[in-house]
Amino acid sequence: MKIRSQVSMVFHLDKCIGCHTCSIACKNIWTDRQGAEYMWWNNVETKPGVGFPTQWEDQEKYKGGWELKNGKPHLKLQNRVEALGNLFSNPALPTMDDYYEPWTYKYGDLFNSPLGDDQPTARPISRIDGKPIEIESGPNWDDDLGGSNIYAVNDPLLENMTDEEKQRLFSIEQLFYFYMPRICNHCLNAGCVAACPSGAIYKRAEDGIVLINQDKCRGWRMCVSACPYKKTYYNWSTGKSEKCILCYPRLETGQAPACFHSCVGRIRYLGVLLYDADQIEAAVKVSDEQLVQRQREMILDPFDPKVVAAAKESGIPDGVITAAQRSPVYRYVKEWELALPLHPEYRTLPMLFYVPPLLPVLSASQESGTQRVENDLFSSLENARVPVRYMSRMLAAGNDELVTKAYQKMIAVRIYKRAETVGDVTADEANAALAKVGMSAEEAEAIYRLTSLPNYQERFVIPPTGREGDIEEVHDPQQRKAETGFGRRQSPHRGL
Ligand code: SF4
Ligand code: SF4
Domains of the chain by range and CATH? Answer: 265-459 (3.30.70.20)
- What is the arithmetic mean of pLDDT over 394-399? 96
- What is the arithmetic mean of pLDDT over 444-472? 84
Task: Using the Cα atoms of residue 167, residue 172, residue 174 and residue 179 in order, give the sign of their dihedral.
Answer: positive
Ligand 2 and 12: CB distance under 6 A:
no
Q: What angle do CA 294, 300, 301 make, to 5 degrees?
A: 130
Q: What angle do CA 44, 45, 51 make, to 5 degrees?
A: 130
Closest CA to 259 of 438, 6, 16: 16
* Distance separating alpha carbons of residues 318 and 327, to the nearest angstrom: 14
Three-state SS at 280: helix
User: How far apart are the CA of 179 and the centre of ligand 2, in A?
Assistant: 8
User: Which-ligand-closest: CA of 189?
Assistant: 1
- What is the arithmetic mean of pLDDT over 439-458? 97
First to last CA, the chain: 21
- What is the arithmetic mean of pLDDT over 83-108? 86
User: How far apart are the CA of 440 and the centre of ligand 1, in A?
Assistant: 37
User: How far apart are the CA of 126 and the centre of ligand 1, in A?
Assistant: 29
- Give the pLDDT confidence score for residue 424 in this predicted structure: 80
* Distance separating alpha carbons of residues 426 and 412, to the nearest angstrom: 13
Ligand 2 and 19: CB distance under 6 A:
yes
* Distance separating alpha carbons of residues 364 and 371, to the nearest angstrom: 11
User: How far apart are the CA of 191 and the centre of ligand 1, in A?
Assistant: 6
308 confidence band (pLDDT: 50, 70, 90)? very high
Mutate to test the pocket of ligand 1, among 77, 192, 490 (most ligand atoms within 8 A of CB): 192
> pLDDT above 70 covers what percent of the chain?
85
* Distance separating alpha carbons of residues 464 and 79, to the nearest angstrom: 38
Residue 98 DSSP symbol? T
Asked whether the predicted pLDDT for residue 319 surpasses 80, the reply is yes
* Distance separating alpha carbons of residues 357 and 363, to the nearest angstrom: 12
In this structure, the residues whose C-beta lies within 6 A of any atom of ligand 1 are: 184-187, 190-192, 210, 227, 229, 231-232, 243, 348
Report whether 354 contacts 332 (CB < 8 A): no
User: How far apart are the CA of 387 and the centre of ligand 1, in A?
Assistant: 28
Helix segments in 333-440, DSSP class H: 359-367, 373-374, 380-382, 388-395, 400-421, 427-436
Task: Give the count of beta carbons closer than 10 Å to the beta carbon of residue 371.
Answer: 15
- Where is mean pLDDT largest: 76-90, 133-147, 152-166, 252-266? 252-266
Asked whether the predicted pLDDT for residue 246 surpasses 60, the reply is yes
Q: String of b and e for 119-147 (b: at least 16 CB within 10 Å)?
A: eeeeeeeeeeeeeebeeeebbbbbbeebb
- Give the pLDDT confidence score for residue 472 in this predicted structure: 41
**Each residue's pLDDT tens digit, 339-351:** 999 999 999 999 9
Asked whether the predicted pLDDT for residue 441 surpasses 70, the reply is yes
What is the length of the chain? 496
**Each residue's pLDDT tens digit, 358-388:** 865 554 445 433 356 666 666 667 766 678 8
Asked whether the predicted pLDDT for residue 62 surpasses 90, the reply is yes
- Give the pLDDT confidence score for residue 1 in this predicted structure: 85
Mutate to test the pocket of ligand 2, among 28, 46, 142, 179 (most ligand atoms within 8 A of CB): 179
**Each residue's pLDDT tens digit, 168-196:** 777 756 667 889 999 999 999 999 999 99
* Strand ranges in 37-119 using DSSP code E only, listed in sequence order: 43-47, 66-69, 72-75, 103-105
Q: How many CA atoms lie within 13 A of 345 on its CB side?
A: 16
Helices 388-395 and 400-421, packing angle to 10 deg: 120
Mutate to test the pocket of ligand 1, among 66, 182, 193, 210 (most ligand atoms within 8 A of CB): 210
Please report the atom of ligand 2 found closest to the CA of residue 15.
Answer: 3
Please tell me the pTM assigned to this model: 0.89
The three-state (H, E, C) secondary structure of 456-486, written as one string = HHHHECCCCCCCHHHCCCCCCHHHHHHHHCC
User: How far apart are the CA of 204 and the centre of ligand 1, in A?
Assistant: 13
- Give the pLDDT confidence score for residue 3 in this predicted structure: 96
Could you tell me which residue, 297 or 144, shows the higher pLDDT?
297
The chain-wide mean pLDDT, for the chain, equals 87
Asked whether the predicted pLDDT for residue 477 surpasses 80, the reply is no
* Distance separating alpha carbons of residues 158 and 279, to the nearest angstrom: 33
User: How far apart are the CA of 25 and the centre of ligand 2, in A?
Assistant: 10
- Give the pLDDT confidence score for residue 474 in this predicted structure: 36
Mutate to test the pocket of ligand 2, among 9, 12, 19, 354 (most ligand atoms within 8 A of CB): 19
- Give the pLDDT confidence score for residue 41 in this predicted structure: 98
Residue nearest (by alpha carbon) to ligand 1 atom 7: 186
Asked whether the predicted pLDDT for residue 104 surpasses 50, the reply is yes
460 confidence band (pLDDT: 50, 70, 90)? very high
Q: Using CA atoms of 21, 22, 28, 31 in order, give the dihedral in degrees to the nearest 10.
A: -140
486 confidence band (pLDDT: 50, 70, 90)? very low
- What is the arithmetic mean of pLDDT over 284-295? 97
Residue nearest (by alpha carbon) to ligand 2 atom 4: 19
* Distance separating alpha carbons of residues 187 and 204, to the nearest angstrom: 11
Phi, psi of 178 (to 5 degrees): -135, 165
User: How far apart are the CA of 114 and the centre of ligand 2, in A?
Assistant: 41
User: How far apart are the CA of 38 and the centre of ligand 2, in A?
Assistant: 19
